[in-house]
Chain A
C-alpha cells in the first residue's frame, strides 16, 4: 500500500502537512470560492431539473472553464458535479421525478413526505445527508484512494454480472407485497434495455423498423415518464378536490435544525449508506446510478419497521441522498489514482483534465500534487456551500411549489418533462418515449406495478448483459466455461449477497417471529421470577 510507486508518496518522503496548507491557501481566495459557490448552485439547479443529468451539467459547462486556469476550471466542475447529484433530490421530493437518476430512491419516501406536508423536512434531511455523504466521501478520497482503486480493478465481467443481479434483488424489498409483479416489472425493464444495438455482435434488436430505436430506450425519458406523468395525471384527476397538491407545511421555525439533528442521530444508516455509495462509485462499470437504490435496500432490510418505508420515512431519504453524494467522491477515486473514471460524470471530468493538458492517473499525483490536493479539498468547500444553499433554497422551492395552484403546476410539470426529455439527445423521439412510457406507467400503477423495478431493469439490463456475454467469451476456452462465474472470491461474496437479499422478504418475517417469541419468552420469565 505504501512505497515509492504509491501515488501518494512524495519524493522526499517527508510527511506533508505542507501540502494540505498549500492546498488550503490556494482555495481561500475569493475568486475560487465564488466559482465553487456558483458551480454548486448551478449544479443544484441543473440537477433539480428532470432531464438534465449530472453528466450533462458537467459537460455543458466545460466550455465556460476554458477561459479559466486548470485548477479553477476543475474545481468549478467538481462543485457542479457535487451540486448536481444533490440537486436531484428537490424534484424527487416535490414532484416525484428524480432530477438525476441518482435520486430515484429519494422519490420513494421523499414524495410521500411532501404529500404529508413535510416537504421542508424531507429537503432538510436530504441536504444534511448529502453534505455528510459528500464530506465522508472526500475523506475517503483523500486518504484511502490507492488501496480502494486497486480493489476496484478486481471486478471483471463475471463480477459485474453478479453485481447487476444483486441490483435486481432490490426488487424484492421494494415490492415485498407482490414480488411476482415486481419481478415482471424488473424483467420488463431489462427487456426494454435490450432494445437497440447488442453490445456483442452489433445486432439491431427490437427496433420495430424505426431507425431511431437503434439508440434504445434512453433512461431519462423512462424515468421522467414512469415517475412523473402518473403523478401529473393524478393531479388532474383530483383537481376538483384539492387546490394544492403539496400541502404547505406549518410555518415552524427551525425545521432545518431539528431535521439535521434527527439525521445526525442515524449514524448507522448514514455510515452504511455512505460506504455503499463510495464502493459503487469506485467500481468503474457500476455507473453510480444504483448507489442510492442499493443503500435504500440495505436500510430497509436492516430496519425494524421495513413496512413503513415508502410511506414517508426520513431514514429512506437520508440513506439515498448520503449514498449518492458519497458516490461522487467514490467515482473520483479511480479517476485520480488510475486515470479510470468511476462514473459518467467522472468521465467528463477526465475529458476536461485532458483538455487542459493534464493526464489523469498516477502521474498526476506525482507531478501535479498540489493541483490534485487542491481539487480534492475544494470538494469539502463545495459540500459546505451546498448546505447553505440548501437551507435557503430548499425552503424557497418547497414554498413555491406548494403555493402554485394545480391548474398551473400540472401543465408546468408537463412542460418541464417535455424540455427535460428533449434536452438529452435533442430528439423528439425521447419526448414521445417519455410520454408513452408515462401513460404506460399510469396504467401499470393502477394494475399494481411499482415503477422502481422497471427502472431498475432498464439501468441494470446492460450491466447484466455485458457481464454475462463477456464472461462467456472469456470463459470460452475454459474446461468448463460457466465456472468463470464462480471462481473469483468477489463473485462468491456477491452471490451470497444476492441470496441474502433475494430471500429477505421470505426470511425476515420468520426472523421477526423468532425475535418476538424470544422477547415474549423473556418477558414471561421475568414475570415468573
Chain B
C-alpha cells in the first residue's frame, strides 16, 4: 500500500514576523521601570527599533509575496518530541545525579529509543558502547583537562 505523504504549506513569513514581534516585545518590556545610563541603552534601543521595522516589513510581505514552505510528514515527529524530552531530562538530572551517571543513563536511553531493533543484544551493544564513550570523554575532560563537572548523588 502506497503511503500518501501529505504536504502542508505554511506561511512562514507570517509566523516568523509575529514570533519576532513577540520576542521584541519581551525584550522591550525589560526596559521599562529601570534606569539606564545614556550610552548603556542607546544601542539596544536602536536594534529593537530596526527589528520592529523589519518584522513589520516581513508581516507585510507575508500578505503580498509570501514564501510558502512545505512541512513534509517524512520525519517521525513523535520520535523527535520524545527525543527532546529525553534530552531535557538528561540536562536536568546532571546536577541531581552527577554528570557521568546521568550521561550514561540518558545516553543509553536515547540510543535505545532511536534504535530500530529493540532486543537484548542491541541493548547490550548500546550499553557497552555508551560506557566506553562516556567514560573515555569524561576521563579526558575531567582528569586531564581538569574541568570540574557537576556532582550529584553520584559522580
A and B touch in the complex (CB under 8 A): yes
Q: Which chain A residues have a beta carbon within 8 Å of chain B's beta carbons?
A: 60, 178, 180-181, 183-184, 187-188, 190-191, 194, 198, 200-203, 205-208, 233-234, 236-241, 243, 405-408, 410-412, 414-416, 418-419, 422-423, 426, 428, 431-432, 435, 439, 444, 446-449, 464-465, 468-469, 472-473
Given A237-B77, A239-B114, the answer on whether A468 and B43 have CB atoms closer than 8 Å is yes
Instruction: Report the bound CA distance from A431 to B149 in whole Å.
Output: 12
Contact partner of A233 among B13, B20, B80, B130, CB < 8 A? B80
A205 touches B147 (CB 8 A): no
Closest-CB distance, B61 to chain A (whole angstroms):
7
Which residues of chain B come closer than 8 Å to A406, judged between CB atoms?
Answer: 114
Instruction: Report the bound CA distance from A208 to B30 in whole Å.
Output: 7
What are 14 A-B pairs with beta-carbon distances under 8 A? A183-B54, A184-B51, A198-B39, A201-B40, A205-B36, A236-B79, A236-B114, A407-B112, A415-B103, A419-B137, A422-B147, A426-B147, A435-B88, A447-B19
Which residues of chain B come closer than 8 Å to A201, judged between CB atoms?
Answer: 36-41
Instruction: Indicate whether B7 reaches chain A with its CB closer than 8 angstroms.
Output: no
Closest-CB distance, A225 to chain B (whole angstroms):
12
Q: Among residues 102 to 126 in chain B, which have CB atoms less than 8 Å away from a CB atom of chain A?
A: 103, 106-108, 110-112, 114-116, 126
Chain B minimum-CB-distance residue to A193: B47
Instruction: Report the bound CA distance from A198 to B35 in whole Å.
Output: 13
Closest-CB distance, B18 to chain A (whole angstroms):
11
Instruction: Indicate whether B33 reaches chain A with its CB closer than 8 angstroms.
Output: no
B40 touches A180 (CB 8 A): no
Chain B minimum-CB-distance residue to A469: B39
Select the residue from A60, A205, A240, A426 with max chain B CB neighbours within 10 A.
Answer: A205
Instruction: Indicate whether B151 reaches chain A with its CB closer than 8 angstroms.
Output: no
Given A191-B47, A435-B91, the answer on whether A446 and B58 have CB atoms closer than 8 Å is no
Instruction: Indicate whether B155 reaches chain A with its CB closer than 8 angstroms.
Output: no
Contact partner of A408 among B47, B71, B126, CB < 8 A? B126
B58 touches A184 (CB 8 A): yes
A469 touches B43 (CB 8 A): yes
20 further A-B pairs in the complex, CB-CB below 8 A; given A205-B44, A243-B116: A180-B54, A184-B20, A188-B20, A198-B36, A200-B40, A201-B38, A206-B44, A233-B80, A237-B79, A237-B80, A407-B114, A410-B114, A412-B133, A415-B103, A415-B107, A415-B134, A422-B149, A426-B147, A439-B84, A447-B69
Instruction: Report the bound CA distance from A184 to B80 in whole Å.
Output: 27
Which residues of chain B come closer than 8 Å to A60, judged between CB atoms?
Answer: 145
B110 touches A198 (CB 8 A): no
B141 touches A411 (CB 8 A): no
Closest-CB distance, A384 to chain B (whole angstroms):
26
Instruction: Indicate whether B97 reaches chain A with its CB closer than 8 angstroms.
Output: no
Contact digits for B73-104, partner A, Cβ 8 Å, 1 yes 0 no: 01111011001100110110011000000010
Closest-CB distance, A223 to chain B (whole angstroms):
18
B90 touches A414 (CB 8 A): yes
Instruction: Report the bound CA distance from A233 to B48 in whole Å.
Output: 31
B74 touches A238 (CB 8 A): yes
A239 touches B20 (CB 8 A): no
Closest-CB distance, B45 to chain A (whole angstroms):
10
Instruction: Indicate whether B22 reaches chain A with its CB closer than 8 angstroms.
Output: no
Interface band, chain B? 35 or more
Instruction: Indicate whether B27 reaches chain A with its CB closer than 8 angstroms.
Output: yes
A239 touches B54 (CB 8 A): no
Instruction: Report the bound CA distance from A524 to B24 in whole Å.
Output: 56
Contact partner of B91 among A237, A418, A426, A446, CB < 8 A? A418
A411 touches B111 (CB 8 A): yes
Chain A minimum-CB-distance residue to B51: A187
Chain A minimum-CB-distance residue to B35: A203
Closest-CB distance, B49 to chain A (whole angstroms):
10
Contact partner of B145 among A411, A423, A432, A472, CB < 8 A? A423
A411 touches B107 (CB 8 A): yes
Chain B minimum-CB-distance residue to A198: B40
Closest-CB distance, B28 to chain A (whole angstroms):
10
Instruction: Report the bound CA distance from A326 to B33 in whole Å.
Output: 48
Chain A minimum-CB-distance residue to B42: A469
Select the residue from B16, B76, B95, B106 with max chain A CB neighbours within 10 A.
Answer: B16
Closest-CB distance, A435 to chain B (whole angstroms):
6
Instruction: Report the bound CA distance from A215 to B126 in whole Å.
Output: 38
Instruction: Report the bound CA distance from A416 to B141 in whole Å.
Output: 11
A206 touches B91 (CB 8 A): no
Which residues of chain A come closer than 8 Å to B106, judged between CB atoms?
Answer: 411
Which residues of chain B come closer than 8 Å to A188, judged between CB atoms?
Answer: 20, 23, 51
The 3 A-B residue pairs with the shortest CB-CB distance in the complex, in nearest-first order:
A201-B40, A201-B37, A203-B40
Closest-CB distance, A468 to chain B (whole angstroms):
6
A239 touches B43 (CB 8 A): no
Contact partner of B141 among A187, A419, A439, CB < 8 A? A419
Contact partner of A418 among B15, B20, B103, CB < 8 A? B103
Which residues of chain A come closer than 8 Å to B95, judged between CB atoms?
Answer: 428
Instruction: Report the bound CA distance from A422 to B150 in whole Å.
Output: 10
Chain B minimum-CB-distance residue to A406: B114
A236 touches B83 (CB 8 A): yes
B110 touches A410 (CB 8 A): yes
Contact partner of B87 among A183, A234, A414, CB < 8 A? A414
Given A198-B40, A414-B90, the answer on whether A184 and B149 have CB atoms closer than 8 Å is no
Chain B minimum-CB-distance residue to A427: B150
Chain B minimum-CB-distance residue to A63: B146
Instruction: Report the bound CA distance from A448 to B43 in whole Å.
Output: 27
Chain A minimum-CB-distance residue to B94: A428
B36 touches A190 (CB 8 A): no
